[in-house]
């Protein structure tokens, strides 16, 4: 027994076997199952976008044009089994980058706590112009998700390269000299001691009000202050080839993230206070905070995905 089914391109009067019909339906359902989660996120943002839908104002953003720059790669590197200084690479920001002018404040974060979307941290949320500190990467990620839902825009933590690009001349590259003899572990240990000692210069570790450390050439505030900022970049350990160029092996650990500020550090993603011994590698930061970037890739794709899911669920546009 056959069931009559006439899709486009099949002449009327020609019967399609029910097995083919069910197979076609299964493929369509499978495609919907794969794409629906992505599209539904876009639809959720799309339905909330616009001034009337937003319960929160869009944060003050600085937009930087696309460009390339020389950048000290993050992570640990080795050659022939011995540690070497991370190479300087050419990094590319391929499109306009919109980043928060200042770090997320304690008052900003407190609104997320009150919405029961963020964990309570050890800070006075009533202070409107102090940066939020003692937050983990997980806390920052939760805040970015909540802010995205509330504004209809998509916010996320910057990558290490994006952070360095926005920091401009305020990016601190205090890597060990590339001329250091990697075959002499004693020499390297002394160089690391001298560097870490210089990082321990005395300065007030109490968070200061937004703007206390001034603005860089890109208009970003407090980039080199005493609050380090989480990035979304995972910690990597890379073995270079004999010429020190291409990678032969790479280990990626996303349980540890890159933190940027007066110097680069690596922190486990659940740590809120680096001074309590949570620094995975390097000198611990004084305070842990964050600022976000707007993800314009998803923002540009959002209308198309929203239209697709509307058609999928039978909504009228």
CA dihedral 270, 274, 277, 280 (to 10 degrees): 70
Sequence-ordered list of residues with C-beta below 8 angstroms from that of 57, at least 6 positions apart, any chain: 151
Q: Is 314 exposed, middle or buried (0-12, 13-18, 19+ CB in 10 A)?
A: exposed
Find how far residue 214's CA is from the centre of its chain. 24
Cα Rg of the chain (Å, integer): 25
pLDDT at 80: 82
pLDDT at 280: 52
pLDDT at 134: 93
Q: Token pair of 95, please?
A: 């499109």
Cα distance between residue 60 and residue 6, in whole Å: 55
pTM over 0.85: no
Sequence-ordered list of residues with C-beta below 8 angstroms from that of 168, at least 6 positions apart, any chain: 216, 217, 218, 220, 223
pLDDT at 14: 41
CB atoms within 10 A of CB 108: 19
Q: Which domains does the chain have, with CATH numbers?
A: 61-300 (3.90.1580)
Sequence-ordered list of residues with C-beta below 8 angstroms from that of 180, at least 6 positions apart, any chain: 85, 187, 188, 191
Partners of residue 253 on adjacent β-strands: 235
Q: What is the largest CA-CA distance in the chain?
A: 87
Q: Token pair of 276, please?
A: 């309590």
pLDDT at 13: 40
Which residue from 41, 59, 227, 55 is spatially nearest to 145, judged by alpha carbons? 41
CA dihedral 19, 22, 23, 25 (to 10 degrees): 160
- The DSSP string of 214-226 is -B-TTS-BSTTSS
Cα distance between residue 69 and residue 160, in whole Å: 13
Which pLDDT tens digits describe the chain residue by residue (317 residues)?
A: 444 333 334 333 444 343 433 333 443 344 444 444 444 444 444 444 444 445 788 999 999 999 999 988 999 888 888 888 888 889 999 999 999 999 999 999 999 999 999 999 875 555 778 999 999 999 999 999 999 999 999 999 999 999 999 999 988 776 656 665 556 666 666 655 555 656 566 566 788 999 999 999 999 999 988 899 999 999 999 998 877 666 777 899 999 999 999 888 899 999 998 877 655 556 778 899 999 999 987 555 555 545 544 555 554 44
């Amino acid at each position: 027994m056959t069931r009559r089914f006439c899709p486009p391109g099949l002449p009327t009067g020609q019967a399609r076997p029910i097995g083919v019909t069910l197979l076609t339906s299964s493929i369509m359902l499978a495609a919907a199952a794969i794409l629906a989660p992505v599209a539904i996120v876009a639809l959720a943002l799309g339905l909330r976008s616009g001034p009337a839908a937003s319960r929160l104002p869009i944060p003050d953003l600085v937009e930087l044009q696309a460009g390339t720059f020389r950048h000290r790669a993050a992570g640990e590197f080795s050659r022939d089994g011995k540690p070497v200084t991370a190479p300087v690479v050419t990094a590319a920001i391929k499109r306009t980058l919109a980043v928060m002018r200042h770090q997320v404040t304690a008052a900003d974060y407190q609104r997320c706590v009150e919405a029961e979307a963020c964990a309570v941290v050890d800070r006075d949320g009533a202070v409107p112009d102090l940066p939020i500190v003692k937050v983990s990467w997980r806390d920052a990620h939760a805040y970015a998700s909540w802010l995205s839902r509330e504004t209809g825009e998509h916010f996320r933590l910057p990558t290490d390269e994006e952070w360095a690009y926005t920091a401009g001349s305020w990016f601190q590259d205090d890597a060990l000299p590339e001329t250091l003899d990697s075959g002499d572990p004693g020499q390297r240990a002394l160089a690391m001691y001298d560097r870490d000692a210089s990082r321990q210069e005395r300065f007030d570790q109490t968070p200061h009000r937004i703007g206390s450390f001034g603005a860089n050439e890109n208009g970003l505030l407090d980039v080199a202050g005493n609050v380090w900022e989480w990035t979304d970049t995972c910690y990597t350990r890379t073995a270079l080839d004999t010429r020190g160029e291409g990678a032969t092996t790479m280990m990626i650990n996303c349980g540890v993230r890159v933190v940027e500020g007066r110097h680069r550090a690596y922190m486990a993603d659940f740590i809120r206070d680096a001074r309590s011994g949570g620094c995975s590698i390097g000198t611990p930061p004084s305070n842990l905070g964050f600022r976000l970037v707007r993800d314009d890739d998803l923002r540009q794709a959002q209308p198309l995905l929203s239209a697709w899911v509307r058609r999928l669920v039978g909504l009228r546009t």
